[in-house]
Amino acid sequence: MRSTGLSIALLALCILSAPAAGREGIPLNNYTRLGQRFTVAEAFDGLWIVVPSWLDAEGGLTLTLWESPARAKVLARQSFADVPDNARVNLHLPKPLPPGSYYWEVHDRTGQTKVGLYADTLEAETEDCAFFDGKPNAKRWFVFGPTCTGSRFIEPGEMLAALRPDAPTQDKSDACRQLAIVGGKEAVPALAGLLADEPLSHIARYALEPMPDPSVDDALRTALGQLKGKPLIGVINSVGERRDDRAVEALAALLRSPEGEVASAAAAALGKIGTPSAAKALEQALDSAQPALDDAGLCCADALAAKGRRAEALALYDRLRSPQKPLAVRTAAMRGAIRIRGLPTLVEHLHSADPSMVNVALWLAQHELPGAEATLALAAELAKLPVERQAQLIQALRNRGESEALPALRTLAKSGERPIRLAALQALGPVGRAAAIPTLLETLTDPDAELAKAAQAALGSLPGPEADAATVTMIESADKSRRLVGIELAVARRLKSASPSLLSAARGPDEQVRLAALKGLRELAGPGEFPSLLGLLVEARTPAERDAAERALAPLCGKTDACAEKLAALMPQAQPALKPVLLRLLRATGGPQAFQAVRAALSDPDPDVRASAIRTLGEWKTAEAAPVLLELAKVSADKVPCLRSALRLAGNKDVPEAERAAICRQAAALIERDDERKLLLSTLGGIHTLESLDMAAACLSNPAVKEEACAAVVSIAEKLAQSPHAAKTAPKLLEPLRKAAQSTANPTLAERAEALLK
């Protein structure tokens, strides 16, 4: 049967052309069932509907296809749950249906919320229309669509008729494609008749291969003795895909074919069949140099092994392990043999003179043959192997990660040759875990620094509370070297619970340990350790310790409300050498209380402390320090440091540009020296406002700072020219840019100015 597809096209057009204003969501909640009668002119194998769920995505329904609104025969049915809003759900048919009129319905709503269909309003009444609880509405149409199969034929009889000798080639091809799905024994003779037809042989085999009937195998075996060339190769491939053991004799004969492609295809088919008779046929031909035979032999041996035919599989594997075979074939065969024979063969190959065989054995040791027995057997071989292979096997045991290897690894870590000791130490952690700790601790003091470092690294990566406890014990040890290693381990393990022990070590008698502990606290201390660290800062015995304590405290500043209060309380009675440190920590803390403490330090009798307070205010996070610095510059002998600090604050990009420009304007009125004026211009170059441009332009006539002024003007103008308000500000840039272009002796700067002017 052939169809024009016109009805389907009209159906799709009707769905797509319905006016959007007439589309309405119809909840199934208001009805028991909603349905649609429809007509199609092509075969179809499914249909879809669009399901609104009013954003709930919780409801469900059942979709049933009937032969007609009379609902006498169910053709297909499927239920859908938790349907997303506006999802398109698909009903798949067991087999394609021919053209005609049908009827579908949704019913049996599930869930607690709304679920339903979309309905369009039609311009004219039609018999193919929506049904509401079985009653037709001639002007409503639910949004849906059939899924066209594209099939040329519906019934198997039509397909067989299309295979007649005088039928068009395209009809035959289409019929074969459909018979692959629905064909049975009755189709085999007709399809077998096409196997010799080279253009159609492939599609005929496509139809035959999935058919379960034994007559297919009979037909393909018959064809083996009748065909030549590409059709023969195709049939050989199909025989292999169907695993037909009765075809082994014919395939074995084809192994001797003078046509290489035929012989290779026969070998591959025998490999896929994978039976004892296929194995025997391949084994008799393996002395040939055909690569296809080797691959087929491996495939056949694997198939036999999978079926439990161990003896036949081993016979093939052993033939393929011949020294005359390519390396890839030998290694694959050896791998298969080890899988069957197990540990003895694996251990045997660890001692092979062929490095490739050793590598395969080591790979299998890491990825296959799991369990304690295999690990014990592998570990027992360690002492029997040369040094290089010992290291390889240690790595394999490490990757296995089974504790049965621990005794052997522990022995090698203590007394093996140096490279083996290193490898064993690296493997102890993954293999022994907590049980490896004593050996690793013992090696930490080894005279060989590399071995000691390896033990330390192994401890650092070892998981579990036992390793944590061992680390803390080392920090608390009386032995200096152990304490230092313990501190390094605590940092490597990110062991915050070691902080109390580190605080104690930071108060100990040895300066090296104290410094190491403070360094560790910088990484591990939390806000709770702030008071203790502050005490260590006050008690610092050397400048180095004071610096280390400051570094440990700085990350904690501002993380608790009491930071500023505690730091400010220390300022009055602190030694002059400590006050600059406290000022830096106050700056890191920030806030009103910290600011007041720094401001109070401006009156300190010690000039170094005053200078530190001025520098600290210049690095403040907010602009509130600027008025203090500028006011002090007017009345203090520290005018220059105050101006410099104020300008440094104006360079802080976290401060709004308007405030930064205001600081520069006030500072400019106080500047008397060209050095500070150059600093002012450098700061202005980073403030992209018209006010900063005017201040920079005012310095263009000063020979001492002319170049700095030109650079600032150009830098500011470039940014303003790129701003969203460039059109408005452009006229105000022209005169400063002209002066800068004429004044500068720097040709690159002059070019930048000219480019902006153009």
Q: pLDDT tens digits for 149-186?
A: 666 777 788 889 999 999 999 999 989 988 887 888 99
Residue where a domain stops, chosen among 93, 126, 148: 148
Q: What type of residue is 330?
A: R
Query: Per the domain annotation, does 225 fall within a domain?
Result: no
Residue 306 has pLDDT above 60, yes or no: yes
Q: Any idea what the CATH number is for the domain that residue 13 is in?
A: 2.60.120
The residue among 624, 655, 686 that closes a domain is 655
In the chain, the percentage of residues whose pLDDT exceeds 70 is 96
39 in Cβ contact with 129 (< 8 Å)? no
* Domain range enclosing 684: 673-758
In sequence order, what are the residues at sequence separation of 6 or more whose Cβ sits closer than 8 angstroms to the Cβ of residue 405? 375, 376, 378, 379, 397, 427, 431
Torsion over CA: 528, 530, 531, 536 (sign): positive
130-132, strands of its sheet edge to edge = 74-80, 60-66, 100-110, 33-40, 130-132, 135-137
Q: What is the pLDDT of residue 150?
A: 66
Tell me if 69 is assigned to some domain: yes
CA atoms within 13 A on the CB side of 199: 6
d(CA 257, CA 313): 26
* Mean pLDDT in residue range 392-398: 93
| Residues 704 and 649 occupy one common structural domain | no
Asked if residue 757 and residue 689 are part of one domain, the reply reads: yes
Q: What's the count of helices (H) and strands (E) in the chain, helices before strands?
A: 39, 12
Q: What is the mean pLDDT of residues 32-61?
A: 91
Identify whether residues 583 and 695 lie together within a single domain.
no
Q: 570 with 585: CB under 8 angstroms?
A: no
Rg over CA atoms, the chain? 44
Beta strands in 81-224 (DSSP E): 87-97, 100-110, 116-121, 130-132, 135-137, 140-142, 144-148
CA distance 102 to 144: 13
Domain contains 51 = yes
- Both 144 and 10 in one domain: the answer is yes
Least confident window among 159-163, 330-334, 498-502? 330-334
Q: How far apart are CA 493 and CA 371, in angstroms?
A: 31
- Tokens for 197? 């037809």
**Which helix or strand (DSSP H or E) is residue 714 part of?**
helix 706-721
pLDDT of residue 322: 85
Lowest mean pLDDT of 10-24, 28-42, 512-526, 575-589, name the range.
10-24
**Is-contact 55 85, C-beta < 8 A?**
yes
Residue 310 lies in a domain: no
Specify the number of domains making up the chain: 3
pLDDT number for residue 61? 96
Question: Of 599, 629, 655, which residue sits at a domain end?
Answer: 655
Is 694 part of a structural domain of the chain?
yes
Rounded (to 5) percent helix, strand, coil in the chain: 65, 10, 25
677 and 638 together in one domain:
no
Please tell me the distance from the alpha carbon of residue 313 to that of residue 283, in angstroms, as a whole number: 11
Q: Same structural domain for residues 93 and 28?
A: yes
Task: Answer yes or no: do 745 and 615 share one domain.
Answer: no
User: Within this chain, do residues 643 and 740 fall inside the same structural domain, yes or no?
Assistant: no
Does 531 score more than 90 pLDDT?
Answer: yes
Q: Answer yes or no: do 688 and 620 share one domain.
A: no
Could you tell me if 650 and 677 lie in one domain?
no
Residue 419 resides in a domain: no
Q: Largest Cα–Cα distance in the chain? A: 117
Whether residues 16 and 134 share a domain: the answer is yes
Q: Are residues 677 and 649 in the same domain?
A: no
Residue 570, domain member (yes or no) = yes
Q: Does residue 510 carry a pLDDT above 60?
A: yes
96: in domain:
yes
